[in-house]
Amino acid sequence: MVLSLAASAALFWFLRATTHFLGDGGLVVRFVAILEGPQDIPVGFKNEPLVGYLYWQGVQLSKLLGWPLDALAIVRVVSIVSGVIALGSAVKLKDALFQDPVEGALFLLLLAGFGGVVMFFGYFENYALLLALLLLVVLAMVRSLEGPTHPAVAGVLVGVMLTVHMGTIVLLPAFLLWIVWLDRGVHSRTARVIGGVAPFLVVPVILALCGVTWEMFVNEYLLRKEGHLLALDGVENGWQSYTLVSFSHALDLLNLCVLLSPFAPILGIIALLRRNPLSRTERLLLVAAAGGLVFVLLVTPNLGMSRDWDLLAGFCLPAVVAVGTVSLRDERSKDPSVRALLFLALLVGLIHAGTWVGVNADEGSAVRRFISLRESPLWSPKARALADEELLAYYRNKHDYAPALAFGLEAAQLDPANNRVWTHLALLYGATGDRTHEIEAYERAIDLGSREAEVYYNLGAIYGRSPQTVGRALRLTRDAIALDSTNADGYNNYGSLLLAQYGAAAYGEALEYFRRAVVLNPSSPESHYNAGMCAYETGDYRGAGESFKRYVALSNDAAHAAAIRKEYPLAVW
């Protein structure tokens, strides 16, 4: 078993995804990169707080151990580890549900061909862990329903699952039914109570670790409406592209089914026509499936169903497990000819998922597939704008500026109030040397409420080049420092702008900013030199000498050292 799990991890890594287009991958990596503490987790990972916490802990651990793991690598590691957990859980679940080895093998083949397995191949999203937790929760519930597993295990896992994605609250009816059906002959009353209470104890603890306060929980999770439920009588916002009862919605659902498990409906028909009565375990699985499918039916994701398939995959997984269990345990499924047909169908499903893995593992194929997907009429304007934004950043990073500009301008047309689009356009214009449009794009991003320190830093640096606009540059750089107090370059730039605006009168104030820059980045020669110059002008000759000495050591410029001694003769080296 251990060797199999290790081999699966190696396979997940070898065939890892090369791009992050199918999902919020670009945003996820950016959020992980700027995580400074638990207080930042609810901002970028509101619905998946525990996943954000694990990312943050991964970043801290890599720094502590000196490992060269960036945000992208941390997300990949969580994806692959989730896959290993899911595989182990699937094997154990097969053993718990099936005594017939052929039925068990067909069940594993069904799960292996589930489209969600793509998320275990270094996929850039937050939902791989959700799939793993769902399988663990189902396993714990099944094994504790009439078996020796303590109900507390399932209860704790349910609590963890809720913080991996808050939307799993739709599975609460299955959890309540599980509590009622726990075998009184196997589990004591105390054990059953502990199992039932456990999630309500686990969730507050994890949310507190993730920086979620009680006030935030009430306002953001209970009271705030984000418009993600499909309307009955008309599109209500930019996230929606159709109504609940519409041909487009039905088409999107069909596409999702083909994407995730094309032959699950066949198993569903077998389950409906089943001859032998359902066991408690099977009824529990069907209730869980109903909860997940209600979520899929009613919710419209930010990026549209075909791009946010990865979110919906987790809520479809209980249905796949349920119809697989109920149909494969039916009497008719024991017929050799039926088994042969099921094997062939599920094998096609496995090839289907494997082909998808192969596409994602090849950068060119993944990009072409994504560009074609964004042209779907089923995508909302906001979803298409976000797709264009990702493609803008992708091509800009490749220094292929013509398609980057085309996608950026289309994104700005589709969603002109999105400050991120204007930020990306400003970076693009900066890379191409189009200063006029760069300034206009940065100003537009700020007018639209951008809170990215980079926007203010960059625009401040541009304005700081002209004496006529130094005042504006000072205000922008001050705002940038307020947004990001850890950026050494911001403090250094602000000190330099003070000197440019006020001259000798600002030496004392500028010195404080240069010294802060040195604390944040001790390896910056420029900050040490600037601190030395200001210290000298304010009469701190010993402090000036220390800064100049550090500057010379870092810059390795002996010739400049002689010039510094000549220009600042009183400095004590």
User: What pLDDT, on a 0 to 100 scale, did the predictor assign at position 535?
Assistant: 93
Residue 33 has pLDDT above 80, yes or no: no
Cα 217 to Cα 229: distance, rounded to the nearest angstrom: 20
User: What pLDDT, on a 0 to 100 scale, did the predictor assign at position 71?
Assistant: 79
Judge whether 258 and 398 are in contact, CB under 8 Å: no
Written as one letter, the residue type at 343 is F
Residue 165 has what DSSP assignment? -
User: What pLDDT, on a 0 to 100 scale, did the predictor assign at position 56?
Assistant: 87
User: What pLDDT, on a 0 to 100 scale, did the predictor assign at position 303?
Assistant: 60
Q: What is the pLDDT of residues 111-127, one digit of tens each?
A: 999 999 999 998 888 89
Judge whether 21 and 366 are in contact, CB under 8 Å: yes
Q: How far is CA 573 from CA 166, 514, 521, 533, 570, in A?
A: 60, 19, 22, 13, 9
pTM over 0.85: no
**Phi (first) and psi of residue 250, to 5 degrees:** -60, -40
Token readout for 349 is 């499903």
Token readout for 552 is 């010379």
> Is the C-alpha dihedral spanning 127, 36, 213, 454 positive or negative?
negative
Q: How far is CA 402 from CA 394, 408, 413, in A?
A: 12, 10, 17
Three-state DSSP state, 301: coil
Written as one letter, the residue type at 383 is A
> What are the percentages of helix, strand and coil residues in the chain, rounded to 5?
75, 0, 25
Q: What is the pLDDT of residues 48-105, one digit of tens each?
A: 999 999 998 888 888 888 877 777 888 889 999 999 999 999 999 999 999 999 999 9
Q: What is the pLDDT of residues 329-351, one digit of tens each?
A: 988 888 899 899 989 999 999 99
Length of the chain: 573
Read off the pLDDT of each residue in 483-502 and give the average, rounded to a whole number. 91
**Phi (first) and psi of residue 30, to 5 degrees:** -65, -40
User: What pLDDT, on a 0 to 100 scale, did the predictor assign at position 23?
Assistant: 58
Residue 306 has what DSSP assignment? T
Token readout for 3 is 């060797």
Q: What is the pLDDT of residues 496-505, one digit of tens each?
A: 999 999 999 9
Three-state DSSP state, 326: helix
For the chain, how big is the Rg over CA atoms in Å? 29
**Phi (first) and psi of residue 263, to 5 degrees:** -105, 5
